[in-house]
Structure 1
Amino acid sequence: MSAVLCVHAQTTTTLDKVKASGTIAVGYRESSIPFAYLDDKAQPTGFGWEICGRIVEEVRKVTERSDLKLAPQPVTPANRIPLLTNGTIDIECGSTTNNSERQKQVAFATNYFYTGTRLIIKTGAPFKSLDDLKGKPVVSTTGTTNFRVIRNLNEEKKLGIDLLAAKDHAESLLMVQTGRAQAFAMDDILLYGLKASAANPADFEVVGDALQVEPYAIMLRKDDPAFKKLVDTTIANLVKSGEFTKLYKKWFQSPIPPKGINLNAPMSRELQENLKNLSDKPAA
């Protein structure tokens, strides 16, 4: 690529790109219930997906492109940042932790959820904490902060855990179901979602104290203040109007597709505070 093209690529904003192409590419996760996942018709849905839908509506207004097309693009923990930075997607709406390391590569909107790493096991298995899993196989999903948390704790505590990597959350849970792993370490809200959507939810239980608390946020490209302002303002308006709380109740405290199971997850103290502060502060 020539120097001229490099400069152009770096200075073209997301709104310019979208207005010129007539399309906004929205990254979503296929199994991050209830944030972004596929419904029984193989269409993306979820809390994050709906919020991104509101953002797309605002982009239509600002760009004056009433014909703006939404192009859904599935992403994984491993490829979500590369696909955003190389322009394949314009925004990522899922269950991505906002942390300092990632902020070196991407930007984040206002934090819209808080979670902690816990474990899901087969019901009745004799494990209640990471310490109980010494020398046992434990799985986490490649490219997640949870994988690094477990790897670091495994080394620090010399637990001898056989840490396995799966390509996505569905595969991680399958490894527990089939006995290839004794536990799956992931954000607790995602574990509750996976349990609720399992063929037999009673087969699994979520255990252990949260190993750390982290914020989720919508991911954007760096150095694009106009687009970040649009996204943050959209979220702020959802909060002020009460729509954010309604969406939360819809996805976390009501029956959700495809099986009509209620996660019964009350809003955390951290999220309640952030709805007042509207901060995009990263985890460490």
Structure 2
Amino acid sequence: MRTIPARRRIATGLLVATLLGTAGCGNVYQPPPVASPRPVGAQQPASPRVSREVPECDARRSLAADPARPRKFVEQGYIRAGVDQTMTRMTHRDPATGEFKGFDIDLLREIAKELFPDRDPRDTIRFVVVTSAERQERLRDGTVDIVADSMTATCERATEVAFSTDYLDSGQTVLVRGDSPYHGIGDLGGKPVCAATGTTSIGHLTDRPEKPVPVSVPNWTDCLVMLQQRQVEAISTDHNVLLGLQDLDPSTRLVTTPPLTRPNGDTSCDWHVGPKSACTWFSDEPHAIAFRQEDIAFVKFVNHVLQKLRDNGRWAEMHRTWLPEHPDNGPPPARYGPNPVWPPGL
């Protein structure tokens, strides 16, 4: 066996000791931190909102209910429904089963039961995943027949698509990290706040007097990732959507914010959902189902189904299942009548 000379053993020991000592002093090279990648399609600041001049209207109004099943879809044998896959309480795809679930999904199944009474609704709905920015276009180009996607009925959108009666009242608020110092939208001036592209939420952020910096992304879960990676300070959208994001990350915290002052100076809460909301929302978001404007019979039929769900308690059952802590005042009453923004014939 070859013996290592004593001098070499001593030199080797000194080298090891030197290296260990250097490591102990914290002088070992550390690679620079790598910034977390941003979601594909993220824009900061979000593209400016391009609004069109439209007449004032009551966005909650729709066509009178009619129980007649629309022949077009009865003969087609199915409906193509545009839905999101990232809103846990409203429309999402269960990662374990691949099945779509949520409040809006249950609404679609109730519509399918009435439209095809002798068939399983799972066989009569073809789900098509759409982002918030794609909803109107996918209706107009015929990709989908109906959109149930936590969509707010607005006068501007009503010039492009037809809406059902209001089926859920909600409003915009804010979700922050659990360790965040923020207590509402008023604390977020100059801070990056995330919302999905193509939503009313981006517009409301742009209009806020505090001037948060809107950050837009294709999907709501992209916002959650950016919040977790500290690329944004908050997510802001409808309360019902934020509840679903909070389910995905229970360490987050919902904060409350007073509403915007109306043009007449009124700051009360009863202008959208009543005192139960305790002034926690700063926008009015009547949720409605969207259709192509020419599908008048389908709009009327769905309004009939929605009224039936209000009357027979099924709406309340769905609400208890998916939105038990959502601070609305129950099923919104249907409003029927013409709107000045509707095209001739509606």
Q: Work out whether the TM-score is over 0.5.
A: yes
Which residue pairs with 2:137 in the alignment?
82
Which residue pairs with 2:256 in the alignment?
208
Distance, in Å, in 1 between the alignment partners of 2:245 and 2:81 is 23
Letter in 2 for 1:152: D
Which residue pairs with 2:206 in the alignment?
151
1:61-100 equivalences in 2 (<5 Å): 61=117, 69-100=124-155
Asked if structure 1 preserves the Cα contact closer than 8 Å seen for 2:116 and 2:124, the reply is no
Asked if structure 1 preserves the Cα contact closer than 8 Å seen for 2:132 and 2:196, the reply is yes
Residues 65 and 249 (structure 1), Cα distance of their counterparts in 2 relative to 1, 3 Å cut:
closer
What is the percentage of aligned positions where both structures have the same residue? 26
Distance, in Å, in 2 between the alignment partners of 1:151 and 1:165 is 11
Distance, in Å, in 2 between the alignment partners of 1:280 and 1:76 is 29
- Secondary structure of residue in 2 paired with 1:78: helix
Asked if structure 2 preserves the Cα contact closer than 8 Å seen for 1:111 and 1:280, the reply is no
- Secondary structure of residue in 2 paired with 1:79: helix
1:253-264 equivalences in 2 (<5 Å): 253=324, 264=325
Instruction: Compute the displacement of 1:194 (Å).
Output: 0.9
Instruction: Compute the displacement of 1:279 (Å).
Output: 2.4
Which residue pairs with 2:291 in the alignment?
220
- Are residue 232 (structure 1) and residue 307 (structure 2) matched? no
Distance, in Å, in 2 between the alignment partners of 1:66 and 1:183 is 41
- Are residue 105 (structure 1) and residue 160 (structure 2) matched? yes
Which residue pairs with 2:38 in the alignment?
none
Letter in 2 for 1:205: R
Instruction: Compute the displacement of 1:197 (Å).
Output: 2.4
- Secondary structure of residue in 1 paired with 2:147: strand
Distance, in Å, in 2 between the alignment partners of 1:104 and 1:86 is 16
- Are residue 52 (structure 1) and residue 100 (structure 2) matched? no
Which residue pairs with 2:263 in the alignment?
none
1:154-233 equivalences in 2 (<5 Å): 157=209, 159=211, 161-198=212-249, 201=250, 203-209=251-257, 210-233=281-304
Distance, in Å, in 2 between the alignment partners of 1:45 and 1:86 is 26
Instruction: Compute the displacement of 1:141 (Å).
Output: 0.9
Residues 135 and 22 (structure 1), Cα distance of their counterparts in 2 relative to 1, 3 Å cut:
same
Number of residue pairs matched by the alignment = 246
Which residue pairs with 1:138 in the alignment?
193
Asked if structure 2 preserves the Cα contact closer than 8 Å seen for 1:117 and 1:188, the reply is yes
Distance, in Å, in 1 between the alignment partners of 2:255 and 2:102 is 25
Query: TM-score scaled by structure 2?
Result: 0.66
Instruction: Compute the displacement of 1:229 (Å).
Output: 1.3
Residues 280 and 145 (structure 1), Cα distance of their counterparts in 2 relative to 1, 3 Å cut:
farther
Distance, in Å, in 1 between the alignment partners of 2:197 and 2:119 is 37
Asked if structure 1 preserves the Cα contact closer than 8 Å seen for 2:171 and 2:239, the reply is yes
2:314 pairs with one of 224, 243, 251: 243
Instruction: Compute the displacement of 1:158 (Å).
Output: 6.0
Instruction: Compute the displacement of 1:17 (Å).
Output: 4.3
Could you list the runs of 5+ residues in structure 1 that have no partner in the other structure?
1-13, 254-263
Which residue pairs with 1:265 in the alignment?
326
Distance, in Å, in 2 between the alignment partners of 1:49 and 1:112 is 13
Which is higher, the Rg of structure 1 or of structure 2?
2
Letter in 1 for 2:168: F
More strand by share: 1
- Secondary structure of residue in 1 paired with 2:127: strand
Distance, in Å, in 2 between the alignment partners of 1:45 and 1:125 is 31
- Secondary structure of residue in 2 paired with 1:146: helix
CA RMSD of aligned residues (A): 2.4
- Secondary structure of residue in 1 paired with 2:193: strand
Residues 158 and 36 (structure 1), Cα distance of their counterparts in 2 relative to 1, 3 Å cut:
closer
Letter in 2 for 1:43: E
